[in-house]
Structure 1
Amino acid sequence: MKDLVAIVRNQHLFAPGETVVVAVSGGADSVALLDILTRLEDERLNLVVAHLNHCLRGTESDDDEKFVSDLATRRHLPFVAIRVDVASFAAAEGLSLEDAGRQARYAFFHEVARRRGATSIAVAHHLDDQAETVLIRLLRGSGGTGLSAMAASGDSLVKRPLLQVSRADLEDYLNGRGLTWRTDSTNSDTTILRNSIRHELIPTLRKYNPRISERLAATAEILAADEELLEHLTSSAFDRLAALEEETVTFGVGALLKEHRGLRLRLYRHGLHELQGDLMRIALAHLEAIDRLACSNRPNASLKLPGALRVERCYDLLSFTVVAPQAAQCWEQVVPGEGDYTLGNGMTLTVQRVAPPKDLATGSKTVAYLSAEAAPFPWLVRPFAHGDRFTPLGMTGSQKVKELFINEKLPLHERSLVPLVFSEGDIVWVAGVRIGEKGRVTSATGAVLRVEILDITP
Structure 2
Amino acid sequence: MFIQTIKRFIEKFQLFQKGDRVLLGVSGGLDSVVLLETLYLLKKEYNLSLFVSHYDHKIRRDSYKDALFVYQLCKERKIPFFYTASSVPAYAKREGLSLEMAGRELRYNLWYYLAKKYDFQKIALAHHLDDLAEEIFMKLIKGTGKRGLAGIPVKREDLIVRPLLFVTKEEIKKFALERGLTWREDETNKDLRFLRNKIRHILIPFLENNFNKKIKENIRKTAFLIAEEEELIEELAKSKFEEIKFYLEGEVALKLHELKQIHPVLRKRIYFLAFKEAKIPLFRITYPHLENLENLITKKTKGPIYLPGNFLAYRGPGYIIFTKKLFSFPYFEIVVSKEGEYLLPNNRILKVFRAPFTKDFIKPENSMSFPAERLTFPFIVRRKKPGDKIYIPSLGHKKLKKFFLEKKIPHYLREDILLIEREKEIVGVWNLYIHPEYEITDKTKELIILQIK
TM-score over 0.5 for the pair = yes
Distance 1:161 1:269, change over 3 A: closer
1:306 aligned partner, one-letter code: Y
The CA distance in 2 between the partners of 1:251 and 1:344, in whole Å, is 31
User: Any idea what SS the aligned residue of 1:6 has?
Assistant: helix
User: Does structure 1 residue 183 correspond to structure 2 residue 188?
Assistant: no
User: Any idea what SS the aligned residue of 1:306 has?
Assistant: strand
Structure 2, unaligned runs of 5 or more: 335-342, 353-363, 367-412, 417-453
| Counterpart mapping for 1:255-294 below 5 A | 256=260, 262-263=265-266, 277=280, 282-285=285-288, 287-288=290-291, 291=294
Per-residue CA distance 1:185-216 (angstroms, 9 max, x = gap): 11111111111111011112212121222222
Other-structure match for 1:159: 161
Q: State the shift of 1:104 in Å.
A: 2.4
User: Any idea what SS the aligned residue of 1:204 has?
Assistant: helix
| Counterpart mapping for 1:18-167 below 5 A | 18-40=20-42, 41-59=44-62, 61-155=63-157, 157-167=159-169
Contact 2:34 2:176 in 1 (8 A): yes
Per-residue CA distance 1:369-393 (angstroms, 9 max, x = gap): xxxxxxxxxxxxx626799xxxxxx
Percent identity, aligned pairs only, is 34
- TM-align CA RMSD: 3.9
Other-structure match for 2:220: 217
Contact 1:294 1:318 in 2 (8 A): no
User: Any idea what SS the aligned residue of 1:249 has?
Assistant: strand
Q: Pick the aligned partner of 1:232 from 231, 235, 241.
A: 235
Q: State the shift of 1:290 in Å.
A: 5.3
Count of residues in Structure 1 that have an aligned counterpart in Structure 2: 339
Q: State the shift of 1:171 in Å.
A: 0.4
Q: State the shift of 1:144 in Å.
A: 2.0
1:303 aligned partner, one-letter code: G
Other-structure match for 2:339: none
Distance 1:100 1:267, change over 3 A: closer
Moved more, 1-10 or 95-104: 1-10
Distance 1:37 1:266, change over 3 A: closer
The CA distance in 1 between the partners of 2:39 and 2:154, in whole Å, is 15
| Counterpart mapping for 1:361-376 below 5 A | none
Distance 1:46 1:326, change over 3 A: same
User: Does structure 1 residue 252 correspond to structure 2 residue 257?
Assistant: yes
Structure 1, unaligned runs of 5 or more: 333-342, 347-381, 388-399, 403-412, 417-458
Per-residue CA distance 1:346-368 (angstroms, 9 max, x = gap): 8xxxxxxxxxxxxxxxxxxxxxx
Other-structure match for 1:302: 302
User: Any idea what SS the aligned residue of 1:42 has?
Assistant: helix
Distance 1:281 1:214, change over 3 A: same
2:77 aligned partner, one-letter code: R
Distance 1:386 1:147, change over 3 A: farther
Moved more, 259-268 or 46-55: 259-268
1:71 aligned partner, one-letter code: L
Distance 1:205 1:386, change over 3 A: farther
The CA distance in 2 between the partners of 1:273 and 1:66, in whole Å, is 34
Q: State the shift of 1:145 in Å.
A: 2.3
The CA distance in 1 between the partners of 2:59 and 2:144, in whole Å, is 30
Distance 1:322 1:162, change over 3 A: same
**4+ residue segments displaced more than 6 Å:** 328-332, 343-346, 384-387
Distance 1:211 1:322, change over 3 A: same
User: Any idea what SS the aligned residue of 1:20 has?
Assistant: strand
User: Any idea what SS the aligned residue of 1:164 has?
Assistant: coil
Name the TM-score, length of structure 2 as normaliser.
Answer: 0.63
